[in-house]
Amino acid sequence: MKTTRTSWWRLVSIVFTKEVSDHARDRRSIILSLLFPLLAPVLIGFLLYTVSHANVQGRSQRVIEVPVVGAEYAPRLMQGFRDKGHTLVEMEGSRAELRAKVLAGHISFVLIIPESAADSPTYGIEIITDRTNPRSLADTAEAMRHITGFGRAEAERLITDAGLDPHIAVPITVSQVNVGRAPSQAYLFYNMIPSMLTFMVFMGAVYLTIDSSVGERERGSLEPLMSAPVARWELLLGKSLAGLLYTMAVVAMNLIAFRFALSKAVEGTSGMAPPPSVDVYIALFLLSIPIAALAVGVQVTIAAITRSAKEAQIYLGLLPTVPLVPGLIMVFNPVAPTVGMAMVPVYGQLGLFLELTNGRSLDPGLVAVSVVSTMIAAALVFWLASKLFESERMIFGA
């Protein structure tokens, strides 16, 4: 039969199609691939939901019980508590007994008002609290807010009564003009998207990569495949593009899950910063493509030099933690991207991702530097992998 040498792109597409359809039939790995990207969005969404709804309660005047000794010495302060809906609970007993009650968690705190408060406009209030108990801490903070506000109002009244300008109590006032986004705890959660996304980029095609390289060698199918008239780089490219497709599908799944989970988490709250918009998610997806190419190249290279699928699983399972660590550090210590940073593959993208999740626009120059440097790195890794595919070790093992 007369056969003709097929064009390289046709051969690459034949290998690509085979790998994609073959792995699409692996139901177990497909289900895992679809579920795994949901974990981080669900977890982070749940945490954000908890924090944002706790804040809603905080802003809508938490009503607390105010255990107090000597309430009768500060009637106006006590009335202020009642006016805000708090419940006064008159306490008795020695200091030791009161401390024991706070420590045991029977009461959050206790205010001790001295007798001198009845005769003097200035007096000190003692609060016995337990700073290791979150409930105690929150209730104490609420009581402190009220007392501080009352104290400020009293100061102004006393100064006015003395015929002075009430501003004398606060001679210097400061007003801030925030040119950035409004501060919000929500950004702490939004800033976790980059590291989790990068983690998924390095996880997305792990199974496919192992199965289509070292797995093929173990199965014995690499020998007949490499006996076919196909250049090794064409085989590698077809397999790698299949890996890239699976990685980007996992990335898309991950971003859709983040979009849904974070939107739901802050729904109905007014103080939290809004979650990233659809545009941000699209930008994150597009900027992930160069890293995904690099990730697949690194995965194929590592899989090619390992002796068994089991060994490859160990190395490739650890690989995603490499970008995860700097990504998590950057959640708490965001770094403004620079040209130098953009030139470092993955690290540069993490910086750009953070800019996006923080609601800032990207510098096109930095985007270009980051994309080009990552694609160069991906090409180098691909070249290395193609050399490994040429070796007998790749077909028959060590």
| Per CB under 8 A, 60 contacts other proteins | no
Cβ neighbours, 10 Å, residue 355: 21
Total residues at interface with other proteins (CB under 8 A): 30
Closest contact distance (angstroms) between CB of 249 and other proteins is: 18
Tokens representing 220 are: 């014995």
Q: Please tell me the number of Cα atoms within 13 Å of 375 on its side-chain side.
A: 8
Binding map of other proteins across residues 190-219, x = CB under 8 A, - = no contact: --------------------------x--x
| Per CB under 8 A, 267 contacts other proteins | no
| Per CB under 8 A, 28 contacts other proteins | no
Closest contact distance (angstroms) between CB of 29 and other proteins is: 11
| Per CB under 8 A, 5 contacts other proteins | yes
Select from 132, 224, 270, 279 the one that contacts other proteins (CB under 8 A): 224
Closest contact distance (angstroms) between CB of 350 and other proteins is: 36
Select from 63, 168, 170, 228 the one that contacts other proteins (CB under 8 A): 228
Binding map of other proteins across residues 268-297, x = CB under 8 A, - = no contact: ------------------------------
| Per CB under 8 A, 3 contacts other proteins | yes
| DSSP β-bridge partners for residue 127 | 111
Cβ neighbours, 10 Å, residue 9: 12
Select from 18, 99, 360, 387 the one that contacts other proteins (CB under 8 A): 18
| DSSP β-bridge partners for residue 69 | 112
Stretch that binds other proteins, among 58-66, 119-127, 229-237, 251-259 (CB under 8 A): 229-237
Q: How far apart are CA 327 and CA 239, in angstroms?
A: 29
Closest contact distance (angstroms) between CB of 15 and other proteins is: 8
- CB burial readout 283-295, b (16+ within 10 A) else e: bbbebbbbbbbbb
Cβ neighbours, 10 Å, residue 250: 21
Closest contact distance (angstroms) between CB of 393 and other proteins is: 11
Residue owning tokens 């289900």: 31
Tokens representing 125 are: 């209030």
Closest contact distance (angstroms) between CB of 295 and other proteins is: 24
Q: Which of 395, 218, 391, 192 is nearest to 312 (CA)?
A: 218
Query: How far lies 17's CA from each of 179, 238, 249, in Å?
Result: 51, 8, 16
Q: In what order do the strands lie in the sheet with 109-112?
A: 87-90, 65-69, 109-112, 126-129
**Toward other proteins, which CB reaches closer, 308 or 358?**
308
61 Ramachandran zone, left/alpha/beta (phi>0; psi -120 to 50): left
Residue ranges that bind other proteins, judged by CB under 8 A: 1, 3-6, 11, 14-15, 18, 22-23, 25-26, 216, 219-231, 392, 395-396
